[in-house]
Amino acid sequence: MGLENSVLKTAPIDPTTLPGRRVRVAVDQPMILDSGATLGPITIAYQTYGQLNADKTNAILVCHALTGDQFVADRHPITGKAGWWSMVVGAGKPLDTNRYFIICANVLGGCMGSTGPMEVRSDTGRPFGLDFPVITVGDMVRAQKLLIDQLGIEQLFAVIGGSMGGMQALQWASAYPERVYAALPIAASARHSAQNIAFHEVGRQAIMADPDWQGGAYFDGAAKPTRGLAVARMAAHITYLSEPALHRKFGRQLQDRTALSFGFDADFQVESYLRHQGITFVDRFDANSYLYITRAMDYFDLAKDHGGVLAEAFRATKVRFCVMSFTSDWLFPTSESRDLVHALNAVAANVSFVEIESDKGHDAFLLDEPEFHRVLRGFLDGAASHRGLPTSGMD
């Protein structure tokens, strides 16, 4: 009736064996983090799609969300599933690989090859675990910039992402405005809300309550805090959906039975679905990474970094913004996108704002939402035209 023991005993992820590209950055001198700590050298694992043009002006950086990764449009090396944005990134798709050079890097603190708490320290020969410094969205973007520098790209045509990916897009536009032509924060916010911090804290406590977590030093034995991580994922997963979507998808339908069991098995389809989400997540994600990345999101507050005035984060910006939200997203509601747009308006920024009608909740940015994809394509076409890049009409 609980999450099955056998299912949760998984082989550990070994990020060093994952396919894909890797660079080492901050090699000569370590990166200084927002906390004041230093970190380096840093490995950044990334994927690219399409071809960089001769002027290096057609690069789009895709920033992934909390549990995303660099495998945007590739089959996932652990789960075997299609890439998380393969509906959006590809030949003829809104992020058209016939015209754009798409880059996506696993975030700093992640567990898919970039430096994070799973990385083996050169000095101790053991993984960082909780000795890894607490990082911020600013630090993630700082590391991405080192990658973009190494690729010799002076200015990204666009930085785009949903959820935490949208936070990174905003951070890029704010910290490196001259390096970004357009920024597309989707289902995002300029600061993490109290309710969202609260949900993250539940997830972290679920992980830390698992005795197999061992204070973050679970690398020696076979036991990993998979139960805690699964519970954290289950709680988070509810927040990615909407009540109407859950009702439409599952309602009160029973799972593989015609009557209530009067027990604690998964009677309802929604329970079974949620357990599945928890159980499969632990195969591809590291519990410590979950702690660090949720913390980075909680710390995100662009206004606070600019004297409490959000507009100051974007003063005199030339970046073109496309802000998007979804009507049924209660994790990053439209009101937060609107606050961002007001701040951008206050500094006369070039900004489009579209609220997409959808009942799919926060996850809508990952799903088949034709209107969303049309807006993406349209905005990128307009920006490409201004930037002197081919547009989809020219194909």
Q: Given the rule CB under 8 A, which of 146-154, 163-171, 194-202, 373-381 is the region that contacts a second copy?
A: 194-202
Task: Give CA 255 to chain center in angstroms.
Answer: 31
Q: Is 231 one of the binding residues for a second copy (CB under 8 A)?
A: yes
Per the annotation, the verdict on 210 as an active-site residue is: no
Local structure of residue 321 (DSSP, 8 states): E
* Three-class secondary structure of residue 212 per DSSP: helix
Q: For residue 295, give both structure tokens.
A: 């913390």
Q: Given the rule CB under 8 A, which of 95-103, 179-187, 295-303, 382-390 is the region that contacts a second copy?
A: 295-303
Q: Is 234 one of the binding residues for a second copy (CB under 8 A)?
A: yes
Instruction: From 391, 317, 390, select the one nearest 351 (Cα to Cα).
Output: 317
Site for a second copy in 306-335 (CB under 8 A): 330, 333
Instruction: From 22, 109, 210, select the one nearest 118 (Cα to Cα).
Output: 109
Task: Output 179 or 227, the one with its CB closest to a second copy.
Answer: 227
* Three-class secondary structure of residue 310 per DSSP: helix
- Find out whether 157 and 58 touch, Cβ atoms under 8 Å: yes
- Find the catalytic residue in 74, 96, 267, 329: 329
Identity (one letter) of the amino acid at 13? I
Compute how many residues bind a second copy; rule: CB under 8 A.
61
- Find the catalytic residue in 96, 114, 163, 358: 163
Identity (one letter) of the amino acid at 25? V
Strand (E) or helix (H) holding 240: helix 226-240
Task: Let me know if 122 is exposed, middle or buried by CB neighbors in 10 A (0-12, 13-18, 19+).
Answer: exposed
80 contacts: CB under 8 Å, gap ≥ 6: none
Q: Is 109 one of the binding residues for a second copy (CB under 8 A)?
A: no
Q: Is 177 one of the binding residues for a second copy (CB under 8 A)?
A: no
Q: Is 38 one of the binding residues for a second copy (CB under 8 A)?
A: no
From candidates 93, 191, 320, 377, binder to a second copy by CB under 8 A: 191
Q: Return d(Cα 360, Cα 336) in angstroms, integer.
A: 18
Compute the least distance from the CB of residue 242 to a second copy, in Å.
Answer: 8
From candidates 21, 22, 304, 387, binder to a second copy by CB under 8 A: 304
Q: Is 198 one of the binding residues for a second copy (CB under 8 A)?
A: yes
From candidates 32, 53, 86, 271, binder to a second copy by CB under 8 A: 271
Strands 350-356 and 320-326, sheet pairing: parallel
Q: Return d(Cα 110, Cα 114) in angstroms, integer.
A: 6
Per the annotation, the verdict on 362 as an active-site residue is: yes
Q: Is 283 one of the binding residues for a second copy (CB under 8 A)?
A: no
Site for a second copy in 125-154 (CB under 8 A): 130, 133-134
Q: Is 235 one of the binding residues for a second copy (CB under 8 A)?
A: yes
Q: Given the rule CB under 8 A, which of 53-61, 114-122, 181-189, 257-265 is the region that contacts a second copy?
A: 257-265
From candidates 238, 284, 315, 387, binder to a second copy by CB under 8 A: 238
Strand (E) or helix (H) holding 287: helix 287-299
Q: What is the 3-state secondary structure (H, E, C) of 176-208?
A: CHHHEEEEEEECCCCECCHHHHHHHHHHHHHHH
Q: How many CA atoms lie within 13 A of 285 on its CB side?
A: 27
Strand (E) or helix (H) holding 376: helix 370-387
Compute the least distance from the CB of residue 189 to a second copy, in Å.
Answer: 11
Compute the least distance from the CB of residue 194 to a second copy, in Å.
Answer: 4
From candidates 53, 155, 199, 359, binder to a second copy by CB under 8 A: 199
**Interacting residue ranges for a second copy, rule: CB under 8 A:** 1-3, 34-35, 37, 130, 133-134, 191-195, 197-199, 201-202, 204-206, 208-211, 227-228, 230-231, 234-235, 238, 241, 243, 246-247, 249-252, 260, 262-264, 266-268, 270-271, 274-275, 278, 291, 295, 298-299, 301, 304, 330, 333
As annotated, the active-site residues are 163, 329, 362
